[in-house]
Amino acid sequence: MNELQEIEEQRQYIKKVSKINENKNLKYTILTMGCKLNENDSEKICGMLEEMGYSRTEDINKANLAIYNTCCVRENAEERLFGKIGELKQIKKKNNLIIAIGGCMMQEPHILEKIKKSFNYVDIVFGTHTIHKLPEDIYKVIEKQKRVEDIIDIDGKVYEDLPIRRDSNIQGSVTIMYGCNNFCSYCIVPYVRGRERSRKPSDIIKEVKELANKGYKEIILLGQNVNSYLRSEMEAIAKGTLKDEAGDYKEIDSFAKLLRAINKIEGIERIRFISPHPKDFTMDVIEAIRDCEKVCKFIHLPLQSGSTKMLKIMNRKYTKEQYLDLVEKMKKEIPNVKFSTDIIVGFAGETEEDFEDTLDVVRKVGFEQVYMFIYSRRKGTPGDEMENQIPEEIKHKRFDRLKKLVEDQIAIDNEKYVGTIQKVLVEGLSKNNENMLTRKNRNK
């Protein structure tokens, strides 16, 4: 079966389930952990569920179906998930609730074991490559009263045209590629999301045009390494293992060209993307950002560490100097460009000197925003096997020092906006104060 036939088969299951569910006023609740890619997967899950006749509720006690879409990038999510599944046991007894747990954590064998052993009342477990099969899984549970485990450990395919129920009607997330080939030594993502595979340019353009027609103003292009978009496909074409007979990649064969094509779509006002990798930030991408007026001049450029020694251990494939040069090059090419970043504190072998290098890069670049993480050991990654792990206490102390530096820098930086007028896209009410609106300015 090819991808189209597989999706058609699932559409039949959607019809079957919606027939069974007719006039029952059934509800689902969903909890999404992790990154924007997971959120976008959840939007597709919600789309399928709503076509199957479920409507959304935030109240677990009113739900007939509970879905948890999990993340395993750091350890703290595990305890939280197990606590949550534990809470469902009583509710399941009362309401005959169907429980489905999916996402990245389910691709980890030891987690799957634990769920089977300790939470045998979970009805469905699904992985990152089988989200599209949820209609079939749900059908089997309802019709056959059967527990379903639907996880595959190969690299998933690219499925198009799944139903989708988006969280926002202003900002639309568009996943452009799946998986990751980088194997940074601390990171679990390549093991749970498989190898890189990109969507066809025409499918992405079609999705963005549909969003523009519906009135969406902002597009966020998603992938673990967006600036290697189509790289695997181009390598396969060069090797002769993939033939582009339909001319799918004739006009657009890189991330830079994709940006330029999306920039031309009428109605869209802003384009952002996460995450690019510094090692793949080629000049064509920098020029595309500079030339495309809709692309936000606010770039998320994950640093992870400022120490060349640590970057090598992390398998990041750039040095401190290369990162700083890249920032300089971008500042030169793109007027008023601003940066945000991700930093990991306390990876194995990090010395005081290494950490000082990280602080040094933070001082030099002057990030608008820094997402800071304490290193969390992940089973199955090289980082977990390394000796000289850093004691928790030192990790926390360094984290606090980094946090203080970042906060001080941002406070000083924000002063320059006081009294200025900025064009903003209002995104909704503030989460903290209903009398205020949340906004992002053109750069941000």
Q: Which residues bind ligand SF4 (CB under 6 A)?
A: 180, 182-184, 187, 189-190, 224-225, 277
CA distances from residue 20 to 27, 143, 231, 262 in whole angstroms, order as listed: 14, 9, 44, 41
Closer CB to ligand SAH, residue 193 or residue 257?
Answer: 193
Q: Which of residues 59-118 bind ligand SAH (CB under 6 A)?
A: 73-74
Residues 163-192 that bind ligand F3S (CB under 6 A): 189, 192
| Binding of residue 71 to ligand F3S (CB under 6 A) | yes
Q: Is residue 34 part of the contact set for ligand F3S (CB under 6 A)?
A: yes
Q: How far is residue 318 from each of residues 120, 298, 308, 313, 347, measured CA to CA in Å? A: 45, 21, 8, 11, 17
Residue 140 or 277 with smaller CB distance to ligand SAH: 277
Please report whether residue 53 would count as binding ligand SAH according to CB under 6 A. Answer: no
Residue 394 in the binding site for ligand F3S (CB under 6 A): no
37 binds, among ligand F3S, ligand SAH, ligand SF4, none (CB under 5 to 8 A by kind): ligand F3S
By the rule CB under 6 A, 399 interacts with ligand SAH: no
The C-alpha atoms of residue 344 and residue 185 are separated, in whole angstroms, by 12
- Of the candidate residues 170, 373, 405, 425, the single one contacting ligand SAH (CB under 6 A): 373
Size of the site for ligand SAH (CB under 6 A): 17
92: its two tokens: 């399941």
* Region from 16-24, 50-58, 163-171, 185-193 binding ligand SAH, contact rule CB under 6 A: 185-193
Cα 139 to Cα 191: distance, rounded to the nearest angstrom: 29
Place of tokens 């206490």: 393
**Rg value, the chain, Cα:** 23
Residue pair 265/410 in contact (Cβ under 8 Å)? The answer is: no
At closest approach, how far in Å is the CB of 302 from ligand F3S? 12
Stretch touching ligand SAH by CB under 6 A, among 47-55, 354-362, 368-376, 436-444 = 368-376
Nearer to ligand SF4, 47 or 349 (CB): 349
Q: Does 193 bind ligand F3S (CB under 6 A)?
A: yes
Can you name the residues that pair with 350 across neighbouring β-strands? none
How far apart (Å, rounded) are the C-alpha atoms in residues 263 and 289? 10
Q: Which does 252 bind (CB under 5 to 8 A by kind): ligand SF4, ligand F3S, ligand SAH, none?
A: none
- Residue-by-residue DSSP string for 214-227: TT--EEEEE-TTGG
The answer to whether 375 contacts ligand SAH (rule: CB under 6 A) is yes
- By C-beta, is 202 or 232 nearer to ligand SAH? 232
Q: Is 163 in the site for ligand SAH (CB under 6 A)?
A: no
| 271: CB partners within 8 A, 6+ apart | 218, 219, 221, 259, 262, 263, 292, 294, 295, 296
State which residue, 323 or 375, has the beta carbon closest to ligand SAH: 375
- Given the rule CB under 6 A, which of 5-13, 70-78, 311-319, 410-418 is the region that contacts ligand F3S? 70-78
**b (16+ CB within 10 A) / e for 177-208:** bbbbebebbbbbbbbbbbebbbbbbbbbbebb
Q: Nearest 5°: CA angle at 300, between 161 and 369?
A: 125
What are the distances in angstroms from CA 226 to CA 285, 301, 426?
Answer: 11, 11, 26
CA-based diameter of the chain, in Å?
65
Distance (Å, whole) CA 132 – CA 155: 14
Residue in 69, 171, 224, 305 binding ligand SAH, rule: CB under 6 A: 224
Shortest reach from residue 365's CB to ligand SAH, in Å: 15
Q: Look up residue 349 and give its two tokens.
A: 């072998």
In the complex with ligand F3S, which residue's Cβ is closer, 42 or 171? 42
Q: Using CB under 6 A as the criterion, which residues of the chain lie in contact with ligand F3S when the complex forms?
A: 34-35, 37-38, 71-73, 104, 189, 192-193
Q: Using CB under 6 A as the criterion, which residues of the chain lie in contact with ligand SAH when the complex forms?
A: 73-74, 186-187, 189, 224-225, 275, 277, 302, 304, 342, 344, 373, 375-376, 378
